[in-house]
């Protein structure tokens, strides 16, 4: 088997039909941006939100529910209890401690690891067949932590990695080269 074949083998067959349930843990700016994108792109038939701050969680859920008039039929639910996540195909984890002024991302590791110890087992308990998508920082380390805590196969725990950095680089290219973003987004230069 060549190196390319080893790197490019199909880990799991692609899902042919969109829909199903997606959970977003953490209703801060990143979590709600994820939730909004999921709704507007018609990715899921059901969206579950989880957060520790009940009042904020309820308000965010209501905002999304009130906006459903303009979108396809999606059920939006929210709770501080992880049972709301049951049966999720994908669980997106955006929750974590905020980075303090002057604090490095690495110093967040222990605080966010402790938070993950309360999140990840509950997600796996209620959705044992889920795929975890980790967005919390520092993302690479916390993806590894989530994989170890979850006991899931490594192909079912994914980190958002350098997606934001790549997006920023593409934006820098567009502004520097003064070219159209549509053209740049269609270029296959990565």
Euclidean distance between CA atoms 176 and 154, whole angstroms:
38
Residue the block writes with tokens 């859920």: 61
Burial (CB count within 10 angstroms: exposed 0-12, middle 13-18, buried 19+), residue 65: middle
Task: Supply the pLDDT for residue 146.
Answer: 98
CA distances from 165 to 6, 54, 88, 170, 171 (A): 27, 32, 28, 9, 10
Please list the pLDDT of the chain residue by residue as tens digits (190 residues). 788 887 777 776 765 555 699 999 999 999 999 999 999 998 899 999 999 999 999 999 999 999 888 887 889 999 999 999 999 999 999 999 988 898 887 788 999 999 999 999 999 999 999 999 999 988 889 999 999 999 999 999 999 977 777 777 777 777 787 766 555 555 444 4
Task: Supply the pLDDT for residue 188.
Answer: 47
Task: Supply the pLDDT for residue 31.
Answer: 96
Q: What pTM was computed for the model?
A: 0.80
Task: Supply the pLDDT for residue 129.
Answer: 96
Written in H, E and C, the secondary structure of the chain is CCHHHHHCCCCCCCCCCCCCEEEEECCCHHHHHHHHHHHHCCCCCEEEEECCCHHHHHHHHHHHHHHHHHCCCCEEEEECCHHHHCCCCEEEECCCCCCCCCCCHHHHHHHHHHHHHHHHHHHHHHCCCCEEEECCCCHHHHHHHHHHHHCCCHHHEEECCCHHHHHHHHHHHHHHHCCCHHHHHHCCCC
């Amino acid at each position: 088997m060549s190196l390319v074949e080893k790197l490019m083998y199909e880990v799991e067959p692609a899902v042919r039909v969109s829909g199903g349930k997606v959970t977003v843990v953490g209703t801060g700016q990143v979590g709600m941006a994820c939730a909004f994108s999921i709704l507007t792109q018609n990715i899921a038939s059901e969206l579950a939100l989880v957060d520790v701050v009940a009042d904020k969680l309820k308000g965010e859920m209501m905002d999304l529910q009130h906006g459903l008039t303009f979108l396809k039929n999606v059920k939006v639910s929210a709770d501080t209890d992880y049972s709301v996540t049951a049966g999720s195909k994908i669980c997106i984890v955006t929750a974590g401690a905020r980075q303090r002024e002057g604090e490095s991302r690495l110093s967040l590791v222990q605080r966010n690891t402790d938070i993950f110890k309360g999140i990840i087992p509950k997600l796996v308990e209620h959705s044992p067949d889920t795929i975890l998508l980790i967005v919390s920082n520092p993302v690479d380390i916390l993806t590894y932590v989530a994989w170890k805590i979850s006991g899931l196969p490594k192909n079912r725990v994914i980190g958002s990695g350098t997606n934001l950095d790549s997006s920023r680089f593409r934006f820098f290219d567009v502004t520097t080269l003064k070219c159209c973003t549509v053209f740049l987004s269609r270029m296959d230069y990565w």
